[in-house]
A and B are shown apart, each in its own frame.
Chain A
Amino acid sequence: MTVSSQPLIGRVRHARVPAFVFGTRLPESAVPRFGSLVRTRLRALDVTVYGLVYDIEVNADDAGTTRLLSIAEDVLDEELEWERNRLIPLDVSVLCVGYRDAAGNLRQALPPQPPISLDAIHTCDAAELQSFHSQLDYFRLVLDARDAPADEVIAASIRYAADAMEGDRRSFILACGRELARLLSGDSARLEQILRRLQ
């Protein structure tokens, strides 16, 4: 599958097979959103790794300006705006939910290797979202994730994907809901909490 040329949004800082963190300094409007799908590439294996954003941490700036401004009195609005418009360093945590192998096969399982430091991270466009969501096996990976707020991540990721489904939103949400119902067949309370977040 041809991977579209989406803009670079950051580079890997550290990684494990199930998850990785990438750093970014983007304007506020371009910060990747919680639950969105991003990708990186394992060049040695010719594999594209997909992940869901499950945490975004705003780092304190090195000079301590933000810290001072947050407690300062009589600060001019212009000063705050100037500070806010600086490129703020962010740590974005990503849960690995699948990969596309060298032959183009999509597998919703953990990748064979974690990404390497400073590998480039890109967002996914609507076509990639649709393609990735032709399977729903990644739900299990998210539901079983220990470090991530799994229910919130899965609900957010479904909502994003649903928006990319071109008018077939409800059918897609129904299909996702049914897959969740199958996976959480013994825990209807948790299931219902997730379903409420889909509406």
Chain B
Amino acid sequence: MTRLDDVLDPRNPVVPASRARPFPQRALDRLGMVVGGSLNDGVRIKLDRGTFIEGLAVGSYVTIDGQTDCRFLGLITDIALDTTDPTLARTPPQDALSAEIFRGTAAFGVITVKPMLKLEGEGGEARPVKTVPTHFTVARRSSPEEIEQVFGAARGKDARPYEIGASLDDDKVRISLDLERLVERSSAVFGRSGTGKTFLALPLLASVIRQDVASALIFDMHNDYGYTLKGDGNKKLKGLKSLAAIADKVSVVTLDQVSSQTRKTGYEFILKIGYGQIEPEDIEMLKSVLSLSDIQINTLFVLKRRYPSDWFARMLSDEEDDGIRELIDAGKIMEGTFMAIQRKVGRMRKFGFMGESAPDGQDAVIRIVEMLTRGKSVVVEFGRYGNDLPAYIFVANYLTRRIHQRYVELKEAAEGGGPDPRKLVIAVEEAHKFLEPEIAGQTIFGTIARELRKYNVTLLIVDQRPSQIDAEIMSQIGTRITCALSDDRDISAVFSGVSGSAQLRGVLAGLESKQQALILGHAVPMPVVIQTAEYGDAIYAQYAVAELTPAQAKARKNVFGSGDDEALV
């Protein structure tokens, strides 16, 4: 039976307030009711006339009350307009009254909601959804309590939560990642340039370090993670080493002493690589950036076999080398090929962090591994070399290959009864340069991404071109934190290997260009759009510690260098 009061919706502004009756609290958040859809494509919800469609957003949470006491929690993946009669679209109403009558009745809004979780009873456990709510069940905005239950810090007793941001609908509802799950598999922060990838990755790593979930090795291409980084308007912001609560757990290693001194930032030691420590595999990684051919790569291995300890120094030397001449004369290598290698690899002579021999015979790898296994995290600052892609790729590959090898040994030792090596997260920017399809099969980063947690080493990829990363590796990335992307191929790539995620494309495309991100994968129970806080005081406050006594401050200064915390904002 249709009652006039039902037709006269009190939320409709044309109804005089005197006739409006109070709706029950729960109905205030009502959006509409389920009218169709599927588990794969999402359920279609016809919006009530009183629902303000312009107030909705893709990525918002919707709860659908099931027939029993269960609730379905889903994400708005699409918002559309529909009509009961297709001719209405061709002959729209011509007057205001008709338009007002049609709106919400014959012409109405429809949202598509992808059900993600099923909550059994009040406060019940959230489980992956395996069915859909039935026809005409009521959909409403998810309550802060429901979102808190799923994403809040309190979920799961073994979880290591990190509050990465706030819900899109309510900035008081905090969204947490499970750090244990985050480091279990490789993860990624994607986003086009200028969307704040670093400002997302930095506090994430800080939290991993602070909660002792894993050690981090950060290849800091642009000198952002160590002491300071530059925010909007050249504002100087705190890096990991400047966050009081974790400063002791972070060491900065520099490749460029001059840059560190100019920037007045401290460092643990200067990383030097001797020619004798370089292997052909380290150069092989540079195949695409140095345009090396397969024959040229093979030549490197021939040189290495012939001159195991000084093949690289001989190759770079301008002096006439009888040994090399012998190889050429014997037809082992071709002169033209050798000359081409010399010319291409010769670019590496200008790398100041490389030399005939490492100072004092130091092995940077041993020192870094030692720090990582002791529970320290290491930021490798590239200084001016950050803008030199071959330098960045070379060093990242050089260190990672050896550290990974060491972890494999430690893991094997652990299987024989030794201690399990501490988890390690390797953060790498411009990751597509290491993981592009042509070389991903050969590089250590490809191996790590594929091996997952086998050896307790995982990657944190920070990149703006996910489409250029090998598809197989993309499918192995557990957690994807994605800021705004504009290229369609990049958007598709983010969802590759994630079943049923096609509907989330609209959510990703709708992200604002700053301080919003879509998180999906292993570390969150269901995909979530977050609003992140501006990197600055609010985040510093989480990493503040009680003020140091003068003696402590002095001791700290002696150990870690002065830094310039005072100048930071």
Contact = CB atoms under 8 A, between A and B. Distances in A.
Contact of A179 (B7, B83, B93, B97): B7
A171 interface: yes
A194 to B, nearest CB: 10
Given A135-B1, A171-B19, A178-B49, A185 B98 contact: no
A172 B8 CA distance: 8
B100 interface: yes
B95 A199 contact: yes
A177 B93 CA distance: 13
Q: How large is the interface on A (under 10, 10 to 19, 20 to 34, 35 or more residues)?
A: 20 to 34
State the main secondary structure of chain A at its contact with B: helix
A182 B4 contact: no
B85 A171 contact: no
A60 interface: no
Interface stretch (B102-110, B311-319, B421-429): B102-110
Interface in B64-101: 83-85, 87-88, 91, 93, 95, 97-98, 100-101
A94 interface: no
B2 interface: yes
Contacts of A134: 3-4
B10 to A, nearest CB: 11
Nearest to B100: A174
State the main secondary structure of chain B at its contact with A: loop
B94 to A, nearest CB: 8
B55 interface: no
B551 interface: no
Contacts of A189: 87, 91
A182 B105 contact: yes
B3 A186 contact: no
Nearest to B83: A188
Contacts of B105: 177-178, 181-182, 185
B85 A136 contact: no
A76 to B, nearest CB: 49
Contacts of B106: 181-182, 184-185, 188, 191
B85 A187 contact: yes
Contact of A192 (B49, B93, B104): B93
B16 interface: yes
B15 interface: yes
B39 to A, nearest CB: 28
A165 to B, nearest CB: 10
Interface of B: 1-4, 7-8, 12, 14-16, 19, 49, 83-85, 87-88, 91, 93, 95, 97-98, 100-102, 104-106
